[in-house]
Amino acid sequence: MEVAVLKETYPGEQRVALIPASIPKLEKSGFRVFIETGAGDAAGFADQLYVDAGAQVVDRSELANADVFLQVRSLGANTVEGRSDLDLLSQGKIVIGMCDPLGQPESIAEMASHGVTQFALEMVPRISRAQSMDVLSSMATIAGYRAVLLAAVELPQMFPMNMTAAGTLTPAQVFIIGAGVAGLQAIATARRLGAVVRAYDVRPAVKEQVESLGAKFVELDLDTGDAEDAGGYAKEMGDDFISLQQQKMAEVVAESDVVITTAAIPGREAPLLITTEAVRGMKPGSVIVDLAAERGGNSEPSRPDERVIESGVVVLGPTNLPSEIPNHASQMYSNNVARLLLEMVDEDQHLFLDLDDEIINGTLVAHEGVVVNHRVSDLLDATCEEVAGVANVDSQESVGVDDSLSSDKLGDEVTDHISDSVDMEDDSTHDTLPPDHDLDDKEVDESLTEDPSNVGDAEDSLRGIEDDDDVLPHDLSSVDDENDDTGEQDLIEDGLESDIEESQKLELMSDDLDDVEESHEDDQDGLSL
């Protein structure tokens, strides 16, 4: 079994999927490890360290024969350069990495179309046995720590209280929104730096965890009885709840020197918790670090990877903080991915995907050409329905741009134009017919409608005029077809041609009828239907 570790192509990504310390564990289970040249350089792991650990360092082109590919960001989490990896990923290859399956389901479908088996590390189930594989928790720990350091650098005051001969310096007031893994780590880090910390979460159950870290839990007068799903994640709340939450939270935000927001909902846009108006109520020089900026942000002024100043308040929207501490981030990621990979090895040291295993089944999103995760497939179905709906609306709007293209008006226009064309030459075409051949218009229309073959018979009869030099236009029957309801329907179903094309057709019809009129006048005695 061959495992290949690819060098990350996402702009600014410094992590590596596997560190040298994890290689002996994999080799013991029957894996041969290949590392792309320079894959670990940015994280502090030189090629020689991999060689010393037993791996082979090769160029990218030599990795194509591997069975399993390890990445930090695979297609989906790397929409910028991720498609360049598809050259290596032939049918049956296994890819393990973060791929944002709920945010970029189309990328999962693309991987499936290539026959690639994709494991999404974001989908590791929250069960005890899978804790050692929980990449989200690992990376959130680093993000929470780094967020506090960013805020400390930006804040124009120190975090801890200081009592000096020059006076007493009061501690910074830090408010953490969201008490998940990132929030709890932010609380712990801010407390170590000496700040006074308060925290809020819609899940009342986390109050004990917040207080155990030395922070004060902020309780807002809101109904939060249904704020947590079965997996322990925060659920999306209604608009009325969020509006009331914003109002009550603005008071706490105004009293804070630093606000760090970590509230996110898997597969959804982040809830807006801090409005621009609330930011304007903060003291100039205050700092907001929005860890949800990539998903729309918890703070209204925040922008992904930008430093925004709103009314003197610095608003940061970092999107890839773990990459800023690449050595430890890679160490944690490597341990997570190695543990998952070992779950795929049977007793005979062969790759085996036990689809009944809760971990394998939970993280597998594409297999044998099919998107197998129901949450991802549901998102794809919803996207298809939305696109179909938009296309249908656009189609209806394009038809409605000019009412002359509607079925009723189009039929009337054809009929009126034909009548006008005939009247220009004579009061009535039937006036040129011998009395014994004068048929009622209704009889002709009904006979043609009841039996479409009559159209052809009529055409053949009209072509049987005694004078062989005078031949009626071959499409005379089409004029009758377009006059009756069946002809109108056929015309509509053929796509409702443009106004210009319709005008040209009508002019041709008029010319045809002019020829017919002249022919009728010359051959009155020979015409029969």
Please list the active-site residues: 126, 131, 134, 137, 233
Q: Give CA–CA dist 142/15, Å, rounded.
A: 12
CA angle centred on 373, ends 370 and 378, rounded to 5°: 95
Of 84, 103, 20, 83, nearest to 54 (Cα)?
A: 20
CA angle centred on 404, ends 401 and 408, rounded to 5°: 120
Of 437, 433, 147, 187, nearest to 299 (Cα)?
A: 147
Kind of pairing, strands 370-371 and 287-290? unpaired
Backbone angles phi, psi at 326, to 5 degrees: -65, -30
Type of residue found at 7: K
Backbone angles phi, psi at 234, to 5 degrees: -70, 140
Q: Give CA–CA dist 327/335, Å, rounded.
A: 13
CB 352 within 8 A of CB 344: yes
Q: Give CA–CA dist 276/151, Å, rounded.
A: 19
What are the b/e assignments for 65-91, b being 16+ CB within 10 Å?
ebebbbbbbbbbbbeeebeebeebbee
What are the b/e assignments for 159-188, b being 16+ CB within 10 Å?
beeeeeeeeeeebbbbbbbbbbbbbbbbbb
Q: Which stretches within 255-324 are classed as H helix?
A: 276-280
Of 60, 82, 89, nearest to 13 (Cα)?
A: 82
What are the b/e assignments for 13-34, b being 16+ CB within 10 Å?
bbbbbbbbebbeebeeeebbbb
- Residue 431 in tokens: 């006036």
CB 194 within 8 A of CB 187: no
DSSP category for residue 484: S
- Residue 515 in tokens: 């020829």
Of 147, 495, 412, 162, nearest to 287 (Cα)?
A: 147
Q: Give CA–CA dist 74/16, Å, rounded.
A: 12
Q: Which residues contact 44 (CB under 8 A, 6 or more apart)?
A: 326, 327
